[in-house]
Structure 1
Amino acid sequence: MVFQPDTGSARAYPIRYLHYHEIVNDAPDDGPIAVTWCPLCGSAVVYSRRVDDDMLEFGVSGKLADDDLVMYDRETETEWKQSSGEAIAGELRGESLTVLPAGLLSWERFREHHPDGLVLQPPGGKSEASGSGDDPEPIDYDDGSYRSYFERDGFGLDAHRGGDSREWHRDDLDPKTVVLGLESDGEALGFPLPRVEAAGGVVAATVGETRAVIFSAEGIHAFENPGFEFEHEDGSYFRANGTRWHGARGVSDDGRELTRLPVRRLFAFAWQDDHGDDRFWIDE
């Protein structure tokens, strides 16, 4: 996961580390952030750690809500749902964390675009995800503890353990379809990766007061749309306003850069759990 602060170098947090640690509390020059990842929900979200005038530090509670990671803050012990950023129990119940712009990029693309970027080093230690039981075991970051879960049809904790207790009552999307969720001015809309691909790899949409362009390019990415009409050209490149733009980086051949939007990248079942079954973009 990559976070680009307004000042200072871009920062990368490898998913292979987040599989085991799930939360990184960091403090770029722009302000404190929480880089969060729930493997069961495929949910990658970067939040500000400021709530009102307080700065929070987050940890993993060991609990789940809708098969999603429940975080807690060490200052008040309030519990927070990772995919939504909502406080669900405790002193700050009802508060919501602020989503910050971030994206998932390959290591190759990060190094190409951010040669001076900072990269989280292996934290080490032990994790329950490293073993088959409930006790923490030494971490092997090359193990790929969730690989079989991502490959199988089921979803949620029971599926990770080999079961299939959760049901999925729709056939237009698979439960683990990758979705990019955008929220603005009280409105929410999730963009399923296969639908963006079927639309030619680029979708222009307005959510609340936000004009967005969503690209399927080395994953799925969303930027503010300055009013351009983008058309897919080749590979990860799109053409608009007389030049080529890279869909994953939001950068043009002539040096201009689109503004990345604050979004949540997650599986369809997690977005539906948080927002209902009708908050998915459809090409009409």
Structure 2
Amino acid sequence: MMKKPTSSYIFWTGMLLLFVPGLLHAYLLMPFPGSQNIEAIKLCYYLEKIILPLRIAGALVILWYLIKYFTNNRRWGKIVKVTILVLGLSSFYITDFAFKASTMFEEPKTIKFADAVANKVPESYIVLGVVRNGVAKAYPLVYLGYHHKVQDNVGDLPVLVTYCTMCRTGRVYSPVIDGKRQTFRLVGARHYNAIIEDESTGTWWYQATGEAAVGPMQGSYLKELPYEQSSLGAWLNKHPGSLILQPDGHFKSDYDDLKDYDVKQAVDRDSTIKNKDSLIRKSWILGVIIDKQPKAYDWRKLTKTCLLNDRLGTTPLLISLEDDDHTFHVFSRQVNGKTLTFKQDTTGRFTDNETASTWNWEGKCISGASKGRQLAVVQAYQEYWHSWQHFHPGTLFWK
């Protein structure tokens, strides 16, 4: 008696179409071992667009197989195929929920702010601060670090306040593209940096640089907005009327997972590293970019220096850390065409050698010949060394 064909290759083709694209997509967009070092953002982008059609095709192929050939299998063949199919279906939980960025890191359910009187956030927490026409708002890193982004307004200014804990990158962007305010979703991560997508064009943007990596806007950049990173206490000293983002009680355990993230380096948590001044992947650096030339400063060495007169290209820089060792400032040292050289005095303020004037942490001269003058602020970033190196190739390094 001739054996009826089982045509198993049809079953396995259907399984391949139904499950593999989703698993590959999840693997490449989450920080699984080896996944983030692959240049695969375009693959991820186009794969996401064809996953559903492939799944439909795969489901139809499997259905066809089950109707026409499944009964031809022997008992163990049926058990194996049913088991594999059940396991495959369970993978939908992994690809479409468990490792889906937008469900792992939800948007705040309520965005609530409080003034300094009603505030419940400890002043030791590090914040990203934004000011617009006299309105100041502070966004604590431990909350941003879980949510990755908060879409808000500072006064009349729409803002997209972002943070990626894998890179230690805080950035504030305008969510307006071609005159239209966008809503952004968290897609996943590439090169350990968050990828966000705007609603209208479907473009994928790197959080660390604001660059459109793939999609209709590829090659363009989100408009970066100025911000400061400081301890909440230092921020309130400068902006006592600031509003502070309060924690959303729905995510308390997620915030607790980031305890001390904002103030303690990974190198200090690693007992195997004897020399805590070693430069490792997650060492903090302070980064500056002038005329497209990036430069990095070892954070641990800056905390020992506190104040540094430096130069990047033709721009003389003043880099300073406040007494809390977390609030940093970068200014241009050029005032009225003259380059000033600074030193810190016993009060914690700093003076310049050329005019013997005294300046505060806002870069404003409060006494002396230059009283009333303002140092130009240079946008600076605190970041992990591995991230700064990757997104700013050719960076200089201060030693």
Tell me if TM exceeds 0.5. yes
Q: How does 1:1-284 map to 2 (within 5 A)?
A: 1-5=128-132, 7-29=133-155, 31-61=157-187, 63-125=188-250, 138-140=251-253, 143-145=256-258, 147=260, 152-153=266-267, 173-197=279-303, 199=305, 201-207=307-313, 210-217=315-322, 218-219=325-326, 220-226=328-334, 227-234=339-346, 236-240=348-352, 241-247=355-361, 249-254=362-367, 257-276=374-393, 278-283=394-399
Relative to structure 1, is the Cα distance of residues 142 and 64 closer, same or farther in structure 2, using a 3 angstrom cutoff? closer
CA distance in 1, matches of 2:280, 2:321: 18
Deviation at 1:99, TM superposition (A): 2.6
Deviation at 1:124, TM superposition (A): 4.4
Q: Which has the higher strand share?
A: 1
Q: Secondary structure at the match of 1:139?
A: helix
CA distance in 2, matches of 1:191, 1:99: 22
CA distance in 1, matches of 2:152, 2:131: 13
CA distance in 1, matches of 2:306, 2:242: 32
Q: Secondary structure at the match of 1:281?
A: strand
CA distance in 1, matches of 2:266, 2:383: 17
Q: Secondary structure at the match of 1:91?
A: coil
CA distance in 2, matches of 1:10, 1:215: 22
CA distance in 2, matches of 1:256, 1:140: 46
Q: Which has the higher helix share?
A: 2
Count residues with an aligned counterpart: 252
Q: Secondary structure at the match of 2:302?
A: helix
Deviation at 1:108, TM superposition (A): 1.5
Deviation at 1:242, TM superposition (A): 2.7
Contact preservation (8 Å) 2:163, 2:171: yes
Q: Provide the TM-score with structure 1 as the length reference.
A: 0.75
CA distance in 1, matches of 2:253, 2:278: 37
Contact preservation (8 Å) 1:60, 1:69: yes
Contact preservation (8 Å) 1:196, 1:203: no
Q: Provide the TM-score with structure 2 as the length reference.
A: 0.55
Deviation at 1:120, TM superposition (A): 1.7
CA distance in 1, matches of 2:178, 2:319: 31
Q: Secondary structure at the match of 1:203?
A: strand
**Which residue identity does 1:193 align to in structure 2?**
W
Relative to structure 1, is the Cα distance of residues 253 and 275 closer, same or farther in structure 2, using a 3 angstrom cutoff? same
CA distance in 1, matches of 2:261, 2:379: 30
Structure 2 unmatched ranges of 5 or more: 1-127, 271-276
Q: Once the two structures are aligned, what percentage of the paired residues are identical? A: 25
Relative to structure 1, is the Cα distance of residues 91 and 234 closer, same or farther in structure 2, using a 3 angstrom cutoff? farther
Relative to structure 1, is the Cα distance of residues 229 and 151 closer, same or farther in structure 2, using a 3 angstrom cutoff? closer
C-alpha root-mean-square deviation of aligned residues, in Å?
Answer: 3.1
CA distance in 1, matches of 2:340, 2:392: 29
Q: Secondary structure at the match of 1:269?
A: helix
Deviation at 1:116, TM superposition (A): 0.9
Deviation at 1:215, TM superposition (A): 1.3
Larger Rg: 2
Contact preservation (8 Å) 1:182, 1:190: yes
Structure 1 unmatched ranges of 5 or more: 126-137, 160-170
Deviation at 1:75, TM superposition (A): 2.1
In structure 2, what is the equivalent of residue 135 of structure 1? none
Q: Secondary structure at the match of 2:135?
A: coil
